[in-house]
Amino acid sequence: MQALLVTSHPHHEAHTHRVADQLAQGIMATGQHTVERADLAAEGFDPRFTLDDHRRFNGETGVPADVLAEQQRLDRADALVLVYPVYWWSFPAQLKGWIDRVFIQEWAFSEQEGRIVKRLGHLPVHLFAIGAADTRTYLRRGYFTSMRNQIEQGIFGYCGAPVVTSELLLTGDEGYPDAHYRQARQWGQQIFSPQEPR
């Protein structure tokens, strides 16, 4: 089986990329699975929802080539793994723009007779957010709950993609950063293990 592992961080040596590397190694360590990497920053994915995207949304034109290429990557995947730094309680803009432009009507969902048809029920999702605070801060302010509502329900729930894993790794965690790398490798080994969605 194949995982599509998506990151969005401009600095290749960042903690985000190192966690992603360990997840990938964990997935491949089983000898049965592969990983396709999508480094949106390195690839220069354009996150802007342009007039062409708006026209496509209204059925006036076809899907842009860069969006179609991303959808094809997702169509090849048996699981979607997102590793990202937390910016303002959510994704970095480039990753959010990837969602905006790629998870579009008639691919991720459709509307039939006034109801939403969720089209991504076959794509399990694994979320790994990396934040620069301690657990108390996230709990006291409700940050993680807000993020989960917005991302798990507002995006993937809307499309029917089951969120199997949703983890928050914080710089205040004991053993940071090495503990994150060990844990990420273990999580990677479990990506294709039978699990119930959250």
Whichever domain contains 41, its CATH number is 3.40.50.360
Q: How confident is the model over 11-18, as a mean pLDDT?
A: 96
> Using CA of residue 12, residue 14, residue 17, residue 23, what is the dihedral sign?
positive
State which amino acid sits at residue 193: S
pLDDT value at position 135? 85
Name 19's Cβ contacts closer than 8 Å, sequence gap at least 6.
Answer: 83, 128, 130, 169, 180, 181, 184
Cα distance between residue 145 and residue 143, in whole Å:
5
Mean pLDDT of the chain: 94
pLDDT value at position 144? 81
pLDDT value at position 145? 86
pLDDT value at position 78? 98
State which amino acid sits at residue 181: Y
* Backbone region of residue 9 per phi and psi (left: phi > 0; alpha: psi in -120 to 50; beta: other values): beta
**What is the residue-wise DSSP string for 129-190?**
EEESS-HHHHHHHTHHHHHHIIIIIIIIIHHT--EEEEEEEETTSTTTTHHHHHHHHHHHHH
In a domain, 19, yes or no: yes
- 50-72 pLDDT, tens per residue? 999 999 988 899 999 999 999 99
In a domain, 196, yes or no: no
Q: How confident is the model over 24-29, as a mean pLDDT?
A: 97
pLDDT value at position 185? 98
Q: How confident is the model over 70-81, as a mean pLDDT?
A: 98
Q: Contact at 8 Å (CB) between 184 and 26? A: yes
In a domain, 197, yes or no: no
In a domain, 140, yes or no: yes
In a domain, 11, yes or no: yes
Cα distance between residue 25 and residue 114, in whole Å:
44
- 80-120 pLDDT, tens per residue? 999 999 998 899 999 999 999 999 999 999 999 989 999 99
Cα distance between residue 62 and residue 188, in whole Å:
36
Q: Contact at 8 Å (CB) between 98 and 45? A: yes
Domain range for 160 is 2-191
pLDDT value at position 196? 67
Tell me which of 196 and 139 has the higher pLDDT. 139
In angstroms, the first-to-last Cα distance of the chain is 21
In a domain, 151, yes or no: yes
Tell me which of 148 and 38 has the higher pLDDT. 38
Number of domains the chain is built from: 1
In a domain, 52, yes or no: yes
pLDDT value at position 140? 84
